[in-house]
Chains A and B, each alone.
Chain A
Amino acid sequence: MRACFCFFAVVALTLSVFADEIPSQPENINVKPLNFTPPDVKQEKMENGGMLFVLPDSEAPLIKLFIIFRGGSMTDPKDKLGLCAFSVEMLKSGGCGSLSPEALDENIDSLGAHLSFSTEIESVTISLYVLSEEFEKALKLLFDILSKPRFDEEAIKSRKNIWLENLRQIYEHSSNIAGLLFKRALYSDSPYANPTEGLPETVSKISREDIVTWHKKWIQPQNMYIGLTGPVTDSTVSLVKEVFGKWKVEGENEKLPEIKIEQKEGLRIYLFERKGLEQVLILVGSLSAERAHPERPVLDALEYIIHTRINLKVREESGLAYSAYATHQACSKAGIFYAAAQTKTSTAVEALRLMVEQLRLAKTALPTTDAIRCIKDHFLNSFIFRFAEKGRLLQEVLWLKFYGFADDHLTKYCDRIRELGPDTLVEAGGKFINTDALTAVLVGEVSGLKNDLKKEFSNAKILELTSFDIIEVEKKKEEEKKGD
């Protein structure tokens, strides 16, 4: 009996050793299937037209409320750029209802919560993160901020001075300078090129009346998407509906401005001198597809492969930059596909050469079978992260709805990825990156680079800028040419 037991013990031990053997490669790891059904996000249209999205998350420590309004910096008048962002700032700073600006500051601080307001090109977003016991108070205060702003004249004056000081700081950063120039070079004078925070000369012109009018137009319930997650109960949802659902509609739905963008042909290089810096920030790219393009999964895959190639060439192989990447940034009617890197002045031309080369190769260099496999596995296996955390899932659904993606966008996404082949991606390279109309912006000590740039890119138009007014500079340049 004892011998028998020993025999089985030895067999069991031996088998367990084999079972415990560490695989020679990670691909040999035995992976069990993952069963997961994403929870449903409840959607409801309130009587006033506002949309409410709810996904309870009992594990979360905080209630999170997001509100998105259509609008954003694209609605700014040309002579008052920054109006939307500054008005949003004044919602928080100008008092509301019976609260003076000072009292509003104190009320916000007393919540011990996170309340932030942000302006993007096409939207205004408010995020409120708060402990459950403070939620009702915070919600009612937020409603007053949005629906009963006072926009006190004195507060506007005071806040404008701070805003102007902050603008000076914003535009000393190469990334902000380059970002604005790049938008202006590609989106020309369309509203997508508006600088979100405005410019000192345009913000100075904003009056209280402008802010009041802006508020009446854009901060309206029918224009609102609310997302609610965290440890919320039915009564929390009822409270939100009671407070925000009763917000009365005033006026008509405002129309967003029309978008017309003129594409400029050829390679254009804009140089902006910023003395005393060791590095040059480089952005290079072209106009591309809109955000909710039906082929968005293919565009995402293209972004992944071009990013990988640029990172490999500029960073890994050459050590030219810490951050070197490619990405696609889009609005509702158009987008930009671009590469970016920051490198020391002496290697800026070489880095730009590598980036342009990789962008141009997008429409000819077929990805290998292994690369296609890598892209597919990456997208399909990481897809679950879009649903895994409830807070993130709620935001995903909210934004997809807000941006007008097809209802089946997520359900069809994986199917489209599964269909990818080398040809699809090369076609996408030709379709989503216009290599015949590339624009580059270089910010840093760039004045000494002109000759090297001319040598490297003999057909490029090189323009030196001293202000953000690209259109004006281009006009002058054209006139000079005609004069010659």
Chain B
Amino acid sequence: MNRFYRIDTAYNYRKSLYEGFMKKISLLLIVSFIFALIFAQEGEQSSFIFKMKVHEYRLNNGLKLLVVQRDTPTVSCQLWFDVGSVNDPEGLSGAAHLFEHMMFKGTRIIGTKNYEEEKPLLDETVRIMRLHDSECMKDEPDYAVLEALKQEYSRVVRKLNEIQMKREFWDILEMQGATEINASTSFDWTEYHYSLPANKLEVWAWIERDRLKNLVLREFYAERDVVLEEMRTSLFDSAWGRVYAELRAIAFIEHPYRRPIIGFRRDIRFADPDELLAHLKRHYVPMNCVAVVVGGVKPDEVYTLVERYFGDIENPSEPPPKPKAVEPEQNSERRAIIRAPFKKRLILGFHRPELTNPDFAPLELLTLILSYGRSSRLYKALVKEKKLAASVDCWNRDSKYPDLFIIRALPTSEHTNAEVEAAVLAEIEKVKKEGVTASELEQAKKKSLFGIASALDSNSSIAWQLGYYQCTAGDWRFIYRAEENIKKVTKEDIIRVANKYFKPSNMSVVYLEESSK
């Protein structure tokens, strides 16, 4: 195993740091000036649930910092980027997710014995694999050519193995005591997180600065294969994975929510590192970034540290592009049937608005009234009384753009998808016509507020909520607003939104039928 870092190979970088000494002095003056200008706001709204003080800062380059001080000896550190799979370029679906994988492969300093020596070999792998990919894309690829390229590629990789220090990124963090080292990509955002002993916060700043400034797409082609394996696990060999992907494919025509977060198979199979780097340079920039630090730290000290490490990272000349597509209104029901080696199941999706829309809270409460707990409407009717389904649930993902209200169910052996669908729609009709009771609404509100509270019980979960709302709703204070919005919902709101969104013309349905073995 290649373990641990050397000092001498970083010489060039240290040297460049010294060469930039004069530049630093002027930078320091600018920083001091900015220091006087920055604003440090604190979350002061009153909340039944969220009582912690959030210290908010913004660096001159646009990077937002949120800090919560807690009485713990550890700290959770998260970097959120306002970029998700919706921002993936056409032809490179899955870019945000693939990039998330690449962020753990090291930099020009970490993960290599000598980057100057490694770089030409990395370029060589790209040259060979481009030839390989273009041969593969042919209708009738020449397998002899492919085999020769594969051999050539393996030869270069063997040389790279002698220079690269695999897993060094992980080793550094784990040696410092980091836990929960991971990242995730959604349709709307990407985040990178881990927790450290509170006295090691500077290690986080160092690592993240280095990743943002010096990232190297090392082991790109092996990781492309890893993502293809992940796709097999989560999409093709997963019953719900297949159904869910199909639902999005029929419900959305123009909006990028139609694509799986992990991407289309062909796009990943032939993904090119340079295209991915171009994507990185456009989106993974300070003005698109939120740093969240929660734990045993002092907010102003965190700010000073973040300013020192992230303050000189520059934005591109053009602001990161936002998705332009708007999903046209659906005007007729859409259906699909897929056959796969799994038990039958069905999913229904109704277009509904984004998280910040006033209709979102009543819809959120509807998910609870319909399917949370055994006395919920759908569970009671479908599972307990009619015995049509073994399970039923619905959810309303917090989304940045208009998305789907989803209901899914597993029919019992004796009943069909169509029977279950009819029963679901019958329950929805009841809500549309008769509304819900006062006690149902009160219970749903209680459950919803409980849900918010239960997500605030550790450094990492608090940090997650702040980053999540900042990227999805555009403001972390949405934690308060979500609570207020839920409290304000009336029975009339529930009837109104049910009638507005639960229409056949706004519905997409996918059945999975078990394929013969």
- Residues of chain A having any CB pair with chain B under 8 Å: 13-14, 16-17, 20-27, 29-34, 36, 59-62, 93, 102, 105-106, 108-114, 129-131, 158, 161-162, 165-166, 168-169, 172, 174, 274-279, 308-309, 312, 315-323, 342-344, 367-368, 370-371, 373-374, 377-378, 380-385, 387-389, 391-392
State how many angstroms separate the Cβ of B31 from the closest Cβ of chain A: 9
Q: Which of A93, A131, A172 contacts B342 (CB 8 A)?
A: A172
Q: Which of A32, A343, A381 contacts B175 (CB 8 A)?
A: A381
Could you pull out 23 A-B pairs where Cβ atoms are within 8 angstroms? A17-B25, A25-B7, A26-B203, A31-B203, A34-B197, A106-B375, A109-B372, A109-B375, A129-B450, A158-B387, A162-B412, A165-B410, A166-B390, A276-B515, A276-B517, A277-B341, A278-B237, A322-B230, A342-B233, A344-B232, A377-B175, A384-B197, A391-B458
Are A373 and B166 touching (Cβ within 8 A)? Answer: no
Are A321 and B229 touching (Cβ within 8 A)? Answer: yes
CA A367 – CA B28 in complex, angstroms?
45
Are B177 and A312 touching (Cβ within 8 A)? Answer: no
A317 neighbours in B (Cβ, 8 Å): 161, 166, 219, 222
CA A244 – CA B458 in complex, angstroms?
28
Known: A105-B374, A370-B3. A165 touches B206 (CB 8 A): no
B374 neighbours in A (Cβ, 8 Å): 93, 105, 108-109
A377 neighbours in B (Cβ, 8 Å): 174-177
Name which of B9-17, B129-137, B497-505 contacts chain A. B9-17
Are B202 and A59 touching (Cβ within 8 A)? Answer: no
State how many angstroms separate the Cβ of A198 from the closest Cβ of chain B: 15
Q: Which of A112, A162, A388 contacts B450 (CB 8 A)?
A: A112
Q: Which of B5, B72, B222 contacts A316 (CB 8 A)?
A: B222
Are B308 and A61 touching (Cβ within 8 A)? Answer: no
Q: Which of B166, B343, B373 contacts A169 (CB 8 A)?
A: B343
**Interface status of B195 (Cβ within 8 A of chain A):** yes
Known: A25-B109, A172-B342, A381-B177. A344 touches B199 (CB 8 A): no
Annotate B62-92 by CB proximity to A: 1 below 8 A, 0 otherwise: 0000000011111000000000000000000
Q: Give the residue name and chain of the B residue nearest to A24 (CB).
A: B14
Q: A317-B166, A319-B221 are in contact. List 7 more A-B contacts (CB 8 A).
A: A109-B447, A166-B390, A312-B167, A316-B219, A344-B229, A371-B3, A389-B72
Known: A17-B28, A131-B453, A319-B226. A385 touches B202 (CB 8 A): no
Are B73 and A61 touching (Cβ within 8 A)? Answer: no
Known: A274-B341, A319-B221. A385 touches B450 (CB 8 A): no
CA A17 – CA B353 in complex, angstroms?
50
CA A378 – CA B229 in complex, angstroms?
29
CA A30 – CA B458 in complex, angstroms?
27
CA A291 – CA B200 in complex, angstroms?
32
Are B373 and A279 touching (Cβ within 8 A)? Answer: no
Q: Which of B207, B239, B412 contacts A172 (CB 8 A)?
A: B239
Are A27 and B5 touching (Cβ within 8 A)? Answer: yes
Are A388 and B230 touching (Cβ within 8 A)? Answer: no
Are A59 and B71 touching (Cβ within 8 A)? Answer: yes
Q: Which of B179-228 contact A (CB under 8 A)?
A: 179, 195, 197-200, 202-203, 206-207, 209, 219, 221-227
Are B343 and A343 touching (Cβ within 8 A)? Answer: no
Of the listed residues A27, A385, A388, the one surrounded by the most CB atoms of chain B closer than 10 A to its CB is: A388
CA A169 – CA B13 in complex, angstroms?
55
CA A114 – CA B372 in complex, angstroms?
11
Q: Which of B171, B178, B383 contacts A162 (CB 8 A)?
A: B383
Are B237 and A308 touching (Cβ within 8 A)? Answer: no
CA A378 – CA B181 in complex, angstroms?
13
Are B229 and A342 touching (Cβ within 8 A)? Answer: yes
CA A114 – CA B452 in complex, angstroms?
12
A34 neighbours in B (Cβ, 8 Å): 73, 197-199
**Interface status of B46 (Cβ within 8 A of chain A):** no
A26 neighbours in B (Cβ, 8 Å): 172, 176, 203, 206-207
**Interface status of B270 (Cβ within 8 A of chain A):** no
Are B3 and A320 touching (Cβ within 8 A)? Answer: no
Are B454 and A129 touching (Cβ within 8 A)? Answer: yes
Size category of the binding interface on chain B: 35 or more
State how many angstroms separate the Cβ of B76 from the closest Cβ of chain A: 10
B74 neighbours in A (Cβ, 8 Å): 384-385, 388-389
CA A110 – CA B447 in complex, angstroms?
8
**Interface status of B4 (Cβ within 8 A of chain A):** yes
CA A321 – CA B446 in complex, angstroms?
43
CA A453 – CA B515 in complex, angstroms?
29
Q: Which of B3, B308, B412 contacts A165 (CB 8 A)?
A: B412
A279 neighbours in B (Cβ, 8 Å): 229, 232-233, 237
**Interface status of B153 (Cβ within 8 A of chain A):** no
**Interface status of B36 (Cβ within 8 A of chain A):** no
Are B219 and A112 touching (Cβ within 8 A)? Answer: no
State how many angstroms separate the Cβ of B184 from the closest Cβ of chain A: 14
A165 neighbours in B (Cβ, 8 Å): 390, 410, 412-413
State how many angstroms separate the Cβ of A82 from the closest Cβ of chain B: 16
CA A312 – CA B171 in complex, angstroms?
12
Q: Which of B233-253 contact A (CB under 8 A)?
A: 233, 236-237, 239
Are A59 and B443 touching (Cβ within 8 A)? Answer: no
**Interface status of B459 (Cβ within 8 A of chain A):** yes
CA A321 – CA B229 in complex, angstroms?
6
Are A373 and B4 touching (Cβ within 8 A)? Answer: yes
**Interface status of B391 (Cβ within 8 A of chain A):** yes
State how many angstroms separate the Cβ of A101 from the closest Cβ of chain B: 9
Known: A22-B17, A381-B177, A384-B73. A62 touches B390 (CB 8 A): no
Are A172 and B343 touching (Cβ within 8 A)? Answer: yes
CA A321 – CA B232 in complex, angstroms?
10
Are B28 and A13 touching (Cβ within 8 A)? Answer: yes
CA A31 – CA B374 in complex, angstroms?
52
Q: Give the residue name and chain of the B residue nearest to A311 (CB).
A: B167
CA A278 – CA B7 in complex, angstroms?
45
CA A43 – CA B26 in complex, angstroms?
60
CA A201 – CA B343 in complex, angstroms?
19
Are B341 and A322 touching (Cβ within 8 A)? Answer: no
B446 neighbours in A (Cβ, 8 Å): 110-112
Are B229 and A309 touching (Cβ within 8 A)? Answer: no
A-B complex: 10 closest residue pairs judged by Cβ atoms: A381-B177, A112-B446, A319-B225, A276-B341, A370-B3, A165-B390, A319-B222, A322-B230, A109-B373, A36-B73
Q: Give the residue name and chain of the A residue nearest to B390 (CB).
A: A165
Q: Which of B3, B206, B233 contacts A23 (CB 8 A)?
A: B206
Are A17 and B24 touching (Cβ within 8 A)? Answer: yes
Are B458 and A370 touching (Cβ within 8 A)? Answer: no
Are A374 and B171 touching (Cβ within 8 A)? Answer: yes
B383 neighbours in A (Cβ, 8 Å): 162
CA A430 – CA B252 in complex, angstroms?
56
CA A392 – CA B7 in complex, angstroms?
38
**Interface status of B422 (Cβ within 8 A of chain A):** no
Q: Which of A16, A61, A320, A391 contacts B49 (CB 8 A)?
A: A61
State how many angstroms separate the Cβ of A13 from the closest Cβ of chain B: 7
CA A312 – CA B237 in complex, angstroms?
24
Are B375 and A105 touching (Cβ within 8 A)? Answer: yes
**Interface status of B340 (Cβ within 8 A of chain A):** yes
Known: A112-B449, A322-B227. A381 touches B28 (CB 8 A): no
Known: A114-B450, A274-B341, A381-B176. A174 touches B237 (CB 8 A): yes
Are B410 and A169 touching (Cβ within 8 A)? Answer: yes
Known: A26-B207, A275-B517, A319-B223. A61 touches B17 (CB 8 A): no
State how many angstroms separate the Cβ of A211 from the closest Cβ of chain B: 19
Are A368 and B343 touching (Cβ within 8 A)? Answer: no
**Interface status of B21 (Cβ within 8 A of chain A):** yes
Are B457 and A278 touching (Cβ within 8 A)? Answer: no
Are A60 and B3 touching (Cβ within 8 A)? Answer: no
B207 neighbours in A (Cβ, 8 Å): 26
**Interface status of B1 (Cβ within 8 A of chain A):** yes
State how many angstroms separate the Cβ of A433 from the closest Cβ of chain B: 18
Q: Which of B441-492 contact A (CB under 8 A)?
A: 443, 446-447, 449-450, 453-454, 456-459
**Interface status of B309 (Cβ within 8 A of chain A):** yes
B335 neighbours in A (Cβ, 8 Å): none
